[in-house]
Structure 1
Amino acid sequence: METKWMIILLSTCWSFCVAANEFYSSTDHMTQLIDIKREFTKSLHEHTEALESEADLLRRALNALEDNFDDSPRDPEKFISNPLAAFQLVRKLSQVGAVARELAEGRRAKDTLENLKSTAQTLPSAGDVEGVVMALVRLQEMYRLDPRNISLFSETNHNIMLDPDETFHIGVISSLNQRFQYAVLWMEETLRKLSEGEEAAVTKEEVIYQLALFSHQLAVIQLPYGQEAAESDLFQSELYTRIIESIKTRDWTAKYIPHSTDKTYEALCTGKRFMMMPQRERKLVCRYRTGRGNPLMIFKEEVEWDEPTILRYHDFLSEGEIDTIKSLARPKLSRAKVIDPVSGKKVSAATRVSKSAWFSEHEDPVITRVNQRIAAVTGLDLETAEELQVANYGIGGQYEPHYDSKLTNDSDFQLRGGRIATVLIYMSDVDIGGATVFPDVGAALQPKRGTAVLWFNLLRNGNEDARTLHAACPVFVGSKWVANKWIRTHGQEFRRKCSTVRSD
């Protein structure tokens, strides 16, 4: 047990130390791992062949020393005075010495080792493994999944089945992140696989030990202490039975809730629309407008409906523009961050799992055209607007409920004002999950490639519109690409009339 997990810890620590990338927070970067695996496998093969060549050279040198040579002559001085014996001995030792020096300098495997080191720098880290596991846990929380049916949601599962060592690893990482209810479920799945005879390095005893610890953490069972613990056998059948029965009888479904206490957010992400009451739905109308370009479909509410306006424009971006923006963004993507409310610094957080890139007004003609189009549909001045942000969500990528207008320690507030409006552009479809939801309104917008969404974060009186609370649901199947523009208040004084009324 110790040897196996020591190897795992050392290998993951080594990869963590040398890895320069974080893959799990962008599905686009995750796809690069397929090529990285192929290149690393090639490098490993080449270095293995070089080492085998060295080993073969050593074996031949050793055979040369041992074959047809008297190691213990009765008269060494007389033996070595024979010029043929002297020549043979000196020649053999000289050849072996040259081999030894060559191997010591590492010339034969030096190039392949350097190549191996170079490709190893691109491998994912232990942090990526943890990131993917916690993405699985988020999906379990949101979509009510247990280990046995988590693959059923995807039609592109490719017949992937986890072995007991892999399910055990997920359980361990879940427990280290204080998600004991999921750790227990994954350990139970590991135990089931082992009971069915699947081969693994992990043993049933190790799994039972972990289950006992988790169950104790969750107060499912009470483990013995002190002298009682010293005299007890953890793996005795009675304790084993107690653990398994406690797992089977516990209502784990009660634990399948997201960290956010807003149940509407969860309901909208899972496709439930119970917050959209009939009287609200009747006031939601659909209007078509045809301009010089593609037709625009605008969803908005009647004036008397006291809700924020959410406008959606179809075919906002062309296929060519989307491909260009993605190509520009890929080399610039880095982990998206949030502002720490205490320090005011930008930090990575589990509440926002994605990578993003920023583009200035004239960085590319396509970016310029997109900004001009945003100005046209919003009627707002973009002089003080923030740069266009492009984001790609990661495995289970999400952005928990938040307000765009609420920025802690906003250094630009005095210069540009608050975020008066948000324009969100979808640059991909998402098979399952990934919707933009507004819990207070009860609306869920499923990503549609080329579509743009506009809403105002501030009321006409300048106050924050509390109804614009929104979130990006976890992506289950698919890759979610978006671009967004945050427009500031300064410069909009004559473009959006002020009002003293409390609502729009």
Structure 2
Amino acid sequence: MFLTLRHIMLLCACVASNVLAELFTSMAHMQRALEAERDIAEEIRQYIRAQEEKLKNLERIASEIDQHSAKALENPEYYLANPVDAYLFVKYFTLDWDRDIDPVLKNNTGNLDDLGKKIELHRQDLPTYEDLTGTVNALLRLQDTYKLDTTSIARGDLGGSSSSQLSAEDCFELGRMAYNEEDYYHTLLWMQEALVRVNDTERQPVKRQAVLDYLAFSSFKQGNILHALVLTKELLLLEPDHSRAQSNKRYYEKLLAEEEQVNRHGDDGTIPIQNKRQVDNYRNSEEFVTYERLCRGEETQEYKHKHKLVCRYRDNKNPLLLLQPVKEEEVYLDPWLVIFHDVISDRELNVIKQLAVPKLGRATVHNVVTGKLETANYRISKSAWLRSEDHPVIERFNRRIQAITGLDVETAEELQIANYGIAGHYEPHFDFARKEEKDAFRDLGTGNRIATWLTYMTNVEAGGATVFPYIGVKLFPIKGAAAFWYNLYRSGEGIYNTRHAACPVLVGTKWVSNKWIHERGQEFRRPCGLNADE
């Protein structure tokens, strides 16, 4: 431990007090005083060198952070829109910070204590470990939904968009966090990638032994006992005294002996490895499988009435649309699903975003059991609600929606603005309340949601489509366009084929706005029909 100036001054005082009274009486003691003087100078130099080394470390950290922020701030949306770069950013200010940076800051003295306090104040706006967990889950969700190859992601190839490459340690942490969730499928994928990359460089935080330890046990949990044994033996070669590995080796050998699989290899001498994705019953369902296929842009069913779809200009004999009729593109006929193009300008979209940002909060869903709103892992986004009174642009846009749809928006819900986060998504759901959800909109007093207006406020580089699993429709965001559909038949019965989902955003930033129009006020604009399905 280096001496502080206070310690040095105390040392000088002790030396002086011991010899001051008799110093002049002996030349030998006078010489010892000169040696003490030399030692004091050396103590001061050691202290200076220590402080210079600390300052160099701080300068290195400052330079790294400055270079990263300067690059990212050139185009923040583009940088954070890539989930790999977002993961590395969040990891830097959580795992990397605690391991590499925090010790340097805490090892300082004097005025640097004030620096530490100032940095901690700024860290309130930086990512937390909760953000790290969410970011890792998001990256794994994208890997599953879009069937992304682990090696390609690690190399920075994400859906045709390039990003930073992942090191062995980056891959290891992804696998380790999956392991902590008992997700052995993703643990195997990312630990195998870490094992390949751990050989690429000598200086790195993660060791081969640590990767083998996680990889072996995850292989065992996925049913690959022979492969787990081979990996465990390799671990013991590197670390012979590893007690858990010794115990596991004996256990794997016992299991293999019982199953008589010791010599079971493939024709080429390799060990066959199985790694099945672990999902619940719903994610094995036809609906969810279709949802993910549509997200990837696949065709799930042929639409026999496709030749009847048309594009037209619509004015609804409304004064707002006489000079500039809306561009209407039919997407599906039953249920009726259309896209209205160029319904809002870039300037108006920017105003709405600026109004929404300060009000954004985690989006919630309605719990059919408790009747309360709550957050859920199947809906990852933040939302805000804007009223007509908030700005003339909101009031003008609401009137435009009314003119285009022909429905009364006075009883509609406020304009909801949604901003999707890393791999933001909303799994299949209905917009309307089913019969068992009697209290869903009771507080509004305006009946059920008769129709949905969904405005796309941004283009999305990859992913982020709105999909309808039961009719095989997929709508990819087009900035300034809006999707529209009825949720209820004229009888008030729900149209169940309107069940839809927001696919995970693969690369890019997704903003949308929703206008949910209710039954009250539509009695003469959309009167009841004579049969249930009209």
TM-score normalised per structure 2: 0.70
Moved more, 241-250 or 114-123: 241-250
Aligned to 2:218, the other structure's residue is in SS state helix
Deviation of 1:72 (Å): 7.7
Measured in 1, the distance between the counterparts of 2:271 and 2:397 equals: 55
CA distance in 2, matches of 1:227, 1:445: 52
Pairs within 5 Å for 1:398-437:
398-406=425-433, 408=437, 409-412=439-442, 415-437=445-467
Q: Are 2:385 and 1:358 aligned?
A: yes
For residues 232 and 265 of structure 1, do their structure 2 counterparts lie closer, same or farther at Cα, with a shift above 3 Å needed? closer
Kept in 2: contact 1:359–1:388 (CA 8 A): yes
Q: Which residue of 2 aligns with 1:284?
A: 309
Deviation of residue 295 (structure 1)? 4.5
The aligned runs of 1:36-435 (5 Å cut-off) are 59-66=4-11, 70=15, 73=18, 108-109=111-112, 111-150=114-153, 151-158=156-163, 160-197=164-201, 199-221=203-225, 230=247, 232=249, 249-250=272-273, 252=275, 259=283, 261=285, 262=287, 263-277=289-303, 279-289=304-314, 291-292=321-322, 294-300=324-330, 307-406=334-433, 408=437, 409-412=439-442, 415-435=445-465
Contact map agreement 1:426 1:452 (CA 8 A) in 2: yes
> What residue in structure 1 maps to residue 104 of structure 2?
none
Report what 1:95 is aligned to. Answer: none
Shift in Å at residue 231 of structure 1? 8.0
Task: Report deviation, 1:194.
Answer: 1.3
- The 8 Å contact of residues 294 and 474 in structure 2, kept in 1 or not, is answered as yes
Aligned-partner Cα distance in 2 for 1:66–1:244: 72
Is the 1:144–1:256 contact (alpha carbons within 8 Å) kept by the matching residues of 2?
no
Q: Distance in 2 between matches of 1:153 and 1:392?
A: 21
Distance 1:366 1:61, change over 3 A: same
2:516 to 483, 486, 495: 486
SS of residue paired to 2:533: coil
CA distance in 2, matches of 1:69, 1:227: 54
Residue identity in the other structure for 1:175: Y
8 A contact 1:289–1:296 mirrored in 2? yes
**SS in structure 2 opposite 1:362?**
helix
Does structure 2 retain, via aligned residues, the 8 Å contact 1:276–1:441? no
What amino acid maps onto 1:271 in structure 2?
Answer: G
Per the TM alignment, residue 260 of structure 1 is displaced from its structure 2 partner at its CA by 6.1
**2:467–2:473 CA contact under 8 A, matched in 1:** yes
Number of aligned residue pairs: 420
3-state DSSP of counterpart to 1:287: strand
Larger RCO, structures 1/2 (Cα 8 Å, 6+ apart): 1
Gaps of 5+ in 1: 1-54, 86-91, 93-105
CA 1:484–1:501 in 2, change beyond 3 Å: closer, same or farther?
same
State the shift of 1:382 in Å: 1.9
Give the superposed CA RMSD: 3.8
Amino acid at match of 2:308: K
Rate the CA distance shift 1:247–1:205 in 2: closer, same or farther, 3 A: farther
Instruction: Look up the equivalent residue of 1:424 and give its one-letter code.
Output: L
**2:476 matched residue in structure 1:** 446
Task: Output the CA distance in 1 between the equivalents of 2:177 and 2:406.
Answer: 49
Task: Tell which deviates more after alignment, 480-489 or 494-503.
Answer: 494-503
**Residues in 2 aligned to 1:391 and 1:484: alpha-carbon distance in whole angstroms:** 8
Distance in structure 1 (CA, Å) of the matches to 2:516 and 2:525: 16
* 1:425 positional shift: 0.3
Q: In structure 2, what residue type is equivalent to 1:169? A: E
* Distance of 2:126 and 2:365 partners within structure 1: 26
> How far apart are 1:79 and its partner, in Å?
7.0
- Closer/same/farther in 2, CA of residues 386 and 231 from structure 1, 3 Å limit: closer
AA in 1 matched with 2:214? Q
- Report the residue type matching 1:266 in the other structure: E
Give SS of 1:453's match. strand
- What is the DSSP-based 3-state SS (H/G/I as helix, E as strand, rest coil) of the residue aligned with 1:249? coil
How far the C-alpha of 1:113 sits from its partner, in A, is 3.5
- Identity, in percent, stands at 37
**Partners of 1:208 and 1:235 within 8 A in 2:** no
Q: Partners of 2:322 and 2:276 in 1: how far apart? A: 53
Is the Cα contact below 8 Å between 1:146 and 1:185 reproduced in 2? no
* Shift, 1:234, TM fit: 9.0
| d(CA) in 2 for partners of 1:486, 1:366 | 18
**What SS does structure 2 have at the residue aligned with 1:259?**
helix
Any unmatched runs of 5+ in structure 2? 25-29, 31-39, 41-108, 230-242, 257-261, 316-320
The alignment partner of 1:462 has SS state of coil
Q: Cα–Cα, structure 1 residues 494 and 434, in superposed 2: closer, same or farther, change >3 Å?
A: same
- Alpha-carbon distance in 2 for matches of 1:163, 1:199: 11
Contact preservation (8 Å) 1:221, 1:243: no
Q: TM-score, normalised by structure 1?
A: 0.74
